[in-house]
Amino acid sequence: MKNIAVFASGKGSNFEQIATRGIRGARISLLVTDKICNALTIAHRYEIEAKTFERRDFETKNAMEEAIIKVLEEEKIDLIVLAGYMRLLSPAFVNRYRNRILNIHPSLLPHYKGKHAIQQAVEDGRKLYGVTVHYVNEGMDEGQIIEQVRVPYEGFDIEELEKMVHETEYELYTRVIQHLIDQEETT
């Protein structure tokens, strides 16, 4: 059984979808947040251990990440899944967990990196809407792409587009995580 840690900073909708759908051969052992947020309520509902590491409680970012690493090691975490975690991980952290940290992004990378990707895509006008799951590296939304799904949308209602993108995220992220767990089981 593989142990997954989910990192989140907000509503926790992707986290909840992964918890609800489940991953065969794995369990979400830990939720890590960088602040008090709704994802903690979801962890409580699903009886998943949760730890909050607020930057202000540590002298340095490195000290905060070392505290997180200590918990990850105690929980024997095999895979880290970023689900709306709004902090960049340091190169040292990324190197320690190279090819074991996933992120989901609401655009067809390499287009529209960073925050407000859906808004960026709408403003661009090229109708390049979609979702990307990728490995995390030292850059923002620059890691190796694992899978992408295009979201065909021709309307003008950004809320409708956001809903479609998020629904695509929920299905895609769970499927990719399951595929990676299945691949590890066969190697």
User: Which strands make up the sheet holding 49-52, listed edge to edge?
Assistant: 49-52, 26-33, 2-8, 79-82, 101-105, 130-135, 145-150
- Which tokens go with 186? 């066969």
Give the pairing type, strands 145-150 and 26-33: unpaired
At 149, give phi and psi (nearest 5°). -135, 130
105 catalytic residue (yes or no): yes
Largest Cα separation within the chain, whole Å, is 48
- Given the residues 105, 116, 134, 166, the one annotated as active site: 105
Active site residues: 105
